[in-house]
């Protein structure tokens, strides 16, 4: 687990963060045992930020969101909304709204009725209800369909109505629990773009829970990757993808190759690993990771960063020898599975821009090469 990087305590206008979690824990009783769902989570979410909680099922991300919403109370720790401690405050008194995967629209009401429901409950004047509901339906691209019922809408349209209903009340933050999970792949990809557009347009803090790393990378300003109730890494999509801090993050975010070997020399923030009979890997060592000659070190390198060919790479490149075990043609790219001389399996992605011919075939002996800056040390082998 790495130390999380919080957003600034106050933004440029001097405003408190939208959401703060300080040492939040949640334990449940199950079959006579105490199960820790969330363990000491601390993070800060800035106003207007699109923030994602990402991780596999059971990692604690949904429980964390439910505690922010007030549907669950933390066993320990503190939750603040805009600087105010809301621990113990019921959901209807927290200035946040939540959108669920099921959308939970009222089937007997029209689109307009669903969106206006919360405003009517609060006693907002009719003229303002019409103005605000119409404006929000325009933002989510549902203008002209006000009289339809949810059963007459597609999944994507229902999701837009659920968003409009949540946003029309002008919450300080919107919590979204896997809202795209019920949509097909193409519509899900379209709605990713739409969600980000809507979030920018309304300027409200979005907290998004998902197990889909592609969704999180596409939409988020920052991502907290969770595992076993803890935050393994927090950063921008680029930071997390390019520089995974742990083996778990490297494996969960996209496809990553994990290699290991004995360090033969160190210096100037660099560690060198002799790999196999004639391979060599040079890897930058991040601050806080202590590496000494003679110790074993693991590193990651992304498949698209690796070149494959028959010739030995240049001296300024990392180089590993191996044998091609599989070639998969995917149209825009070709994937190569290579077993190295030490028995490790490596995946290589090569774009098919220059030639339609395979660079190598099954059984071929090849060199794999990449720039040292594309290696990323993750620590001692687990």
Q: What does the pLDDT look like over 154-168, one tens digit per residue?
A: 888 888 898 889 888
pLDDT of 187 reads 80
Pair (265, 308) in one structural domain: yes
126 vs 301: CA distance, rounded Å: 59
Q: Which is nearest to 149 in space by CA: 115, 183, 174, 177? A: 115
Residue 253, CA distances (Å) to 31, 57, 344 in order = 33, 15, 20
Pair (346, 239) in one structural domain: no
Contact predicate 18/46, CB 8 Å: yes
Give tens-digit pLDDT for 271-322. Answer: 999 988 889 999 998 877 888 899 999 999 999 999 999 999 998 899 999 9
- State pTM to two decimals: 0.85
Q: Which is nearest to 78 in space by CA: 24, 39, 27? A: 24
Domain range for residue 291? 256-379
Query: Which residues, in sequence order, are CB contacts of 295 under 8 Å at separation 6+?
Result: 262, 263, 380
Pair (198, 284) in one structural domain: no
72 in any annotated domain: yes
157 in any annotated domain: no
Whether the CA torsion 235, 239, 245, 247 is positive or negative: it is positive
Please report which helix (H) or strand (E) contains residue 195, including its range: helix 185-202
Please report which helix (H) or strand (E) contains residue 114, including its range: helix 111-121
130 in any annotated domain: no
For 348, phi then psi, to 5°, come to -125, 130
284 vs 373: CA distance, rounded Å: 7
Domain count for the chain:
2
Looking at 250, 283, 310, which one is the last position of a domain?
Answer: 250
């Amino acid at each position: 687990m790495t130390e999380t990087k919080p957003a600034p305590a106050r933004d440029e206008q001097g405003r408190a963060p939208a959401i703060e979690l300080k040492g939040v824990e949640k334990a449940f009783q199950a079959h006579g045992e105490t199960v820790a769902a969330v363990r000491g989570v601390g993070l800060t979410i800035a106003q207007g930020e699109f923030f994602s909680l990402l991780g596999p099922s059971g990692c604690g991300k949904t429980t964390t969101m439910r505690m922010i919403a007030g549907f669950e109370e933390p066993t320990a720790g503190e939750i603040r909304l805009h600087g105010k401690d809301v621990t113990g405050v019921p959901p209807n008194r927290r200035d946040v709204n939540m959108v669920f995967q099921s959308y939970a629209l009222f089937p007997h009401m029209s689109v307009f009725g669903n969106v206006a429901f919360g405003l009517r409950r609060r006693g907002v004047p009719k003229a303002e209800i019409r103005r605000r509901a119409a404006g929000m339906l325009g933002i989510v691209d549902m203008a002209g369909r006000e009289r339809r019922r949810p059963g007459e809408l597609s999944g994507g349209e229902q999701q837009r109505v659920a968003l409009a209903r949540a946003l029309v009340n002008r919450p300080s933050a919107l919590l979204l629990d896997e809202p795209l999970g019920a949509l097909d792949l193409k519509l899900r990809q379209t709605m990713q773009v739409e969600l980000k557009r809507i979030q920018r347009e309304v300027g409200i803090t979005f907290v998004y829970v998902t197990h889909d790393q592609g969704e999180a990378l596409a939409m988020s300003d920052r991502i907290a990757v969770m595992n076993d109730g803890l935050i393994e890494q927090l950063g921008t999509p680029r930071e997390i993808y390019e520089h995974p801090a742990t083996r778990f993050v490297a494996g969960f975010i996209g496809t990553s190759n994990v290699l290991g070997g004995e360090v033969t020399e160190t210096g100037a923030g660099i560690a060198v690993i002799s790999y196999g009979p004639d391979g060599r890997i040079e890897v930058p060592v991040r601050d806080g990771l202590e590496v000494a000659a003679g110790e074993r070190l693991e590193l990651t390198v992304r498949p698209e960063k690796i070149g494959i060919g028959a010739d030995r790479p240049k001296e300024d490149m990392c180089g590993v020898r191996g044998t091609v075990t599989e070639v998969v043609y995917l149209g825009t790219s070709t994937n190569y599975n290579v077993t190295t001389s030490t028995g490790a399996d490596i995946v290589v992605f090569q774009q098919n821009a220059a030639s339609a011919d395979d660079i190598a075939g099954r059984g071929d002996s090849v060199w794999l090469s990449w720039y040292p800056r594309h290696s990323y040390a993750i620590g001692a082998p687990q």
